[in-house]
Structure 1
Amino acid sequence: MTHAIAFPTAPPSSVGVDAAGIHRFVDATERAGCDLHSLMIAREGKLIAQGHWSPYTADRVHLLYSCSKMFTATAVGLLVDAGELDLRDRVLEKLPWWLLKTDRSRIDPAWFDVTIAHCLSMTVGHDDDAWRRGTEGAFAADGKPADVDWIDLILRTRLDHEPGSTFAYNQVATYLLSRVVAHVSGEGLLPYLRPRLLDPLGIGRVITQTDAAGNALGFTGIHAATDALLKLAQLYLDEGVWRGDRILSADWVRRARVPFGPSNRDPQADPDWDQGYGFGLWCARHGYRGDGAFGQFAIVLPQQRTVVAMTAETVDMQRILDLLWEHVLPAIDRPGDPEADATLADRLSTLTLDIDEVGPFDAPAGEHRWVRAELIGAQVDPYSGAGRFPEHWSDATVSVADGRTTVALEARVGAFELTVTAATWTQTTWTFPHGASMPVLARGGWQTPTRFVADVIAIESPHRFRFVADAETGTFDLGWRLPPLTGTEPALLAPRT
């Protein structure tokens, strides 16, 4: 694997950007509670701003959610450029016959007219996201992908309209593309991309969530560092050329970044989701972008020769874009100065997540055993009522020694520990029965003499949860701040690598 290639850096003012505008954007997102985890901005191929909200760091991978679609669409583009795929190819003809286990007589005939272009542009023919229609039973209760071919599940869904006649953002479309890439190339999605995209761009560790057979999901699941998003955005900004070498054809980039097929105009949609959809990319009021749930962004601004990458955990993604257009866009081609550059650099070097400190009460000595509050009808104020962990997370033992607290959790999917101190984030790795693992960072302490609180970050994802225990009642609870799209079971969030 190639070593990471860094962007050349430059002060914002040296490429015609007023650093004060970026500074105001950072301040505004924090006031608005956008919960950014990282921010990178490059202009004219030079990195002018970079910050990570501690404990997130530049070298960590981060779940990108639907920004994964940008990687999958790029893989399709590489195959099209190589003459191994055509946008008019029918998807089912590009999958091996033995995958199509569903009796052909039971498959909606319209499926046989779905093309590569339909899947790229979300014009398969469903009225809505068909993922939840067709994939009941895709996962077992313990988070393990069920041993069933997901294409078989997908083909049981009926199309609501003729392919190409309607737009609906649709996870099954990109999953099918991931399987097509694997079959046509003879490699999985990431192995195919490694020598053709990831290594040339100097993108380091990338992992992905998979189905039971190890197929990349394609529509979500890719974990990569923020600079991977920035580099991919820069590749598209430069019409498929990276540092003088052509990676993608300019024709592919032009096709991918403009609306394709039926319009997704929707008066109920946020304005930056109402501008059309290309190939794995959303058109926007300014430029275009890849994006993923909770605020993962790879933004391309051709007129400004600027790219922006961000990761976050927010339900209001439009708010982040609104603030970007309000503060950063006007700062481009506006005179800056070295003093503003230095002030911004200082600000970006001291970013930290807004999580309340816990303490300063001393821990009660000895070992404490608690049971799940939900099981006995008690109330322990979980982090998020809608995000409570499943009931089978039922027992906890807390041991205190030398100022360090160890929380041992018992659940049907295994036994897990947290090491907790008030001063620093401490990492442990949770491993689940189906081979998935997930590093978590914990920090916390005794909020009152009888109330123990630990904030826990699933550090390779946008998400964090809270463990709260009440020593008086002997009960505890667990809940996500914002539940992952995979649900409240943490085993589903962990990638199987």
Structure 2
Amino acid sequence: MTHAIAFPTAPPASVGVDAAGIHRFVDATERAGCDLHSLMIAREGKLIAQGHWSPYTADRVHLLYSCSKMFTATAVGLLVDAGELDLRDRVLEKLPWWLLKTDRSRIDPAWFDVTIAHCLSMTVGHDDDAWRRGTEGAFAADGKPADVDWIDLILRTRLDHEPGSTFAYNQVATYLLSRVVAHVSGEGLLPYLRPRLLDPLGIGPVITQTDAAGNALGFTGIHAATDALLKLAQLYLDEGVWRGDRILSADWVRRARVPFGPSNRDPQADPDWDQGYGFGLWCARHGYRGDGAFGQFAIVLPQQRTVVAMTAETVDMQRILDLLWEHVLPAIDRPGDPEADATLADRLSTLTLDIDEVGPFDAPAGEHRWVRAELIGAQVDPYSGAGRFPEHWSDATVSVADGRTTVALEARVGAFELTVTAATWTQTTWTFPHGASMPVLARGGWQTPTRFVADVIAIESPHRFRFVADAETGTFDLGWRLPPLTGTEPALLAPRT
């Protein structure tokens, strides 16, 4: 049984940080629409700032997207430290061939030169991210993973360059590492990490998305609380030592945090994505980090002896870093005071997501059955037509009782409910045919006498969607604020099995 270990806390001023700078950062991210979900900052191993934007909470796991790569790379590091892997090992020699159907004689010969180091550093040899073309056929039409080993799909691809000669951020590379960890250790990625990393750091529940055979994706899919990111960042800041115990070798940390191989060739790369890539870690203008789509961050600032963890739903990750460098970085080693500390603590205790207010309108009496129509695409708001749920989410029955609206949705993948009130977020759990489930929180009401809107958060992810209904036309629509990388089908986002 894992017992969560909390960071010791300290006022920012006591460790040489001006709390006003952190306060200004929080204000600036909200003005910029960065949509942070959590923020944790520690200096000298002490937690100096922590906040979660309601209804997100500290105990909830959150999809970390590509911050998962930091966990997978750390698992590789543990195996290297134990002498069970070498960075020069050929990846193909460390895969479970008895599970595969691939004829080795038909594989692109360049694959035989791909090493563990190439996968860690994204220098496999593909010209771009080969995941979509490499795993075509991995999912059935209903969203359930197809019964095929994804390694067989990946090895059909040809490499565009000699391994080690070019950088391309590539999910294929880290998926293969996840399979290597499982094969070499005899355990899955999370079971391997639990006694060696997660338990020693006091990291609580961690779950992951998997392929059809139950293999962790490695490059994405890990769900953990924000403090897991902060603890992992702190482990790297302290050269692999956690509270006096050596977890990871200093040699591994030093290798992982510096650029390996060619630089990013993307001429449109943002400044903090153009500083080189180590082993599962991006080098940055300040320090280095693990990061994940839509604003998941585990940031290590060695010169400042500071670590930062954040979760969010944003398309402009560089903006978050720019604001961090502008406001928080100068606040380190700048005198603070107790008043600023107290003001920041108050600010962080009252954070909440920004959603539309509903009007004081009574709901139409009785039960209403509505059909799907394109309502969201025509709106001028963050919810766009590009993020609409698949059309098989086709019918909705809406009923009102005791100030609470119940929405019953019908789709090819099942029947699902939302319970909606104007004052509070209400949770229901959606369970899908392949055994995965996803808790969702809804809040909303009638914006006009005929227009009903509910904001819905897939609370273990960065994502939220909107249910919109028009009582005059008897129609409704569903659309993501920012569509998940798994696509618009909710079943593909659900991690639990």
- Kindly tell me: are residues 357 and 176 of structure 1, through their superposed partners in 2, closer, same or farther at Cα, counting changes over 3 Å? same
**1:374-433: per-residue Cα shift (whole Å, max 9, x none)?**
499999999321100000000000011111110000000000000000010000000000
Secondary structure class of the residue paired with 1:42: strand
Does structure 2 retain, via aligned residues, the 8 Å contact 1:382–1:478?
Answer: no
Deviates most, 153-162 or 133-142: 133-142
Query: Contact 1:66 / 1:292 at 8 angstroms: preserved in 2?
Result: yes
> What is the DSSP-based 3-state SS (H/G/I as helix, E as strand, rest coil) of the residue aligned with 2:447?
strand
Question: Structure 2 vs 1, CA of residues 378 and 396 (structure 1 numbering), >3 Å: closer, same or farther?
Answer: farther
Q: Secondary structure at the match of 1:79?
A: helix
- TM-aligned CA deviation for residue 27 of structure 1: 0.3
Deviations 1:112-135 (A, max 9, x none): 111000000000000100001111
Task: Output the CA distance in 2 between the equivalents of 1:386 and 1:130.
Answer: 23
For the structure 1 residues 46 and 98, does the alpha-carbon distance in structure 2 shift closer, same or farther, using more than 3 Å as the test? same
User: Does the 8 Å CA contact 1:61/1:224 hold for their aligned counterparts?
Assistant: yes
Displacement of 1:2 in angstroms is: 1.7
C-alpha contact (below 8 Å) 2:4/2:202 kept by paired residues: yes
| Displacement of 1:140 | 1.5
**Percent of pairs identical after alignment?**
100
Quick one: distance in 2 between partners of 1:377 and 1:334? 48
Cα distance in 1 for partners of 2:375, 2:158 equals 40
C-alpha distance in 2 between matches for 1:484 and 1:125? 27
Report the Cα offset of residue 101 of structure 1. 1.4
1:333-367 CA-partner distances (Å, limit 9, x unpaired): 00000000000000000000011111211111110
Q: CA contact under 8 A between 1:380 and 1:475: conserved in structure 2?
A: no
State the shift of 1:96 in Å. Answer: 2.2
The one-character-per-residue Cα deviations of 1:195-231 (angstroms, maximum 9, x if unpaired) are 0000000000000000010000000000000000000
Q: Is the 8 A contact 2:389 2:489 kept in 1?
A: yes
- Deviations along 1:223-258, one digit per CA (max 9) or x if unpaired, are 000000000000000000000000000000000000
Residue 59 of structure 2: aligned partner: 59
- Answer yes or no: is the 8 Å Cα contact 1:370–1:474 preserved in 2: yes
Contact 1:64 1:292 in 2 (8 A): yes
Tell me, in whole angstroms, the C-alpha distance in 2 between the residues paired with 1:334 and 1:59: 32
How many angstroms does 1:105 deviate by? 2.4
Residue aligning to 2:385: 385
Which one is further off, 140-149 or 56-65?
140-149
1:403-414 counterparts in 2 under 5 A?
403-414=403-414
Stretch deviating more after TM superposition (292-301 or 136-145):
136-145
Contact kept in structure 2, 1:468 and 1:478, CA below 8 Å: yes
List runs of 5+ in structure 1 lacking aligned partners. Answer: none
C-alpha distance in structure 2 between counterparts of 1:309 and 1:237, whole Å:
13
Q: Tell me which moved more, 423-432 or 265-274.
A: 265-274
Per-residue CA deviation, residues 79-129 of structure 1 (Å, 9 max, x unaligned), is: 000000000000110112223311122210111111000000000000100
Post-superposition shift, 1:449? 0.6
- CA spacing shift, 1:377–1:233, aligned 2, 3 Å: closer
Contact 1:300 1:306 in 2 (8 A): yes
Using the TM superposition, name which of 95-104 and 441-450 deviates more: 95-104
Aligned counterpart, 1:257: 257
Distance 2:302 2:182 in 1: 32
- Structure 1 counterpart SS, 2:200: coil
CA deviation after TM superposition for structure 1 residue 496, in Å: 3.4
The question of whether the paired residues in 2 share the 8 Å contact of 1:272 and 1:284 is answered with yes
Deviations 1:417-466 (A, max 9, x none): 00000010000000000011000000011111111111000000000000
Deviations 1:266-323 (A, max 9, x none): 4421000000000000000000000000000000000000000000000000000000
Query: Alpha carbons of 1:174 and 1:236: their partners in 2 closer, same or farther (altered >3 Å)?
Result: same
Shifted more, 374-383 versus 102-111: the winner is 374-383
Contact 2:375 2:468 in 1 (8 A): no
Quickly say closer, same or farther: Cα 1:376–1:166, change in 2 above 3 A: closer
Call closer, same or farther: CA 1:287–1:435 in 2, change over 3 Å.
same
Q: Is the 8 A contact 2:377 2:386 kept in 1?
A: no
SS in 2 for 1:67: helix
Cα drift, residue 265 of structure 1? 5.1
- Asked whether the 8 Å contact 1:275–1:282 carries over to 2, the reply is yes
**Cα pair distance change 1:357/1:249, threshold 3 Å:** same
SS in 2 for 1:449: coil
- TM (norm. structure 2) is 0.98
Per the alignment, in what secondary structure is the counterpart of residue 371 of structure 1? Answer: strand
Shift of 1:40: 0.1
Shift in Å, 1:42 = 0.1
Instruction: Tell me the distance in 2 between the aligned counterparts of 1:307 and 1:381.
Output: 34
CA distance in 1, matches of 2:440, 2:380: 22
Question: In structure 2, how many angstroms separate the alpha carbons of the residues matched to 1:352 and 1:382?
Answer: 18
Cα distance in 2 for partners of 1:144, 1:365 equals: 39
Pick which of 261-270 and 274-283 moved more. Answer: 261-270
Structure 1 residues 447 and 7: CA distance shift in structure 2, 3 A: same
Structure 1 match to 2:239: 239
Superposition deviation, residue 163 in structure 1: 0.6
When residues 159 and 130 of structure 1 are mapped into structure 2, their CA distance, relative to the original with a 3 A threshold, is same
Cα distance change, pair 491–332 in 1 and its aligned pair in 2 (3 A): same
Q: Which runs of 5+ in 2 are unaligned?
A: none
Name the stretch that deviates more: 363-372 or 94-103. Answer: 94-103
Q: 1:472 to 1:432 in 2, by over 3 A?
A: same
Q: Which residue does the alignment assign to 1:160? A: 160
* Structure 1 residue 191, shift from structure 2 partner: 0.3
Give the TM-score taking structure 1 as reference length.
Answer: 0.98
- Shift in Å at residue 482 of structure 1? 0.3
d(CA) in 2 for partners of 1:220, 1:21: 32
Q: Report if the CA contact (8 A) 1:408-1:417 is conserved.
A: yes
Worse-matched range after superposition: 43-52 or 131-140: 131-140
Q: Is the 8 A contact 2:438 2:496 kept in 1?
A: no
Does the aligned pair in 1 maintain the 2:375–2:476 contact within 8 Å? no
Q: Which moved more, 1:194-203 or 1:139-148?
A: 139-148
- Within 2, Cα distance between the matches of 1:329 and 1:141? 48
Partner of 2:493: 493
CA contact (8 A) 2:358 2:444 kept: yes
Q: Deviation of residue 145 (structure 1)? A: 1.1
TM-superposed CA distance for 1:144, in Å, is 1.1
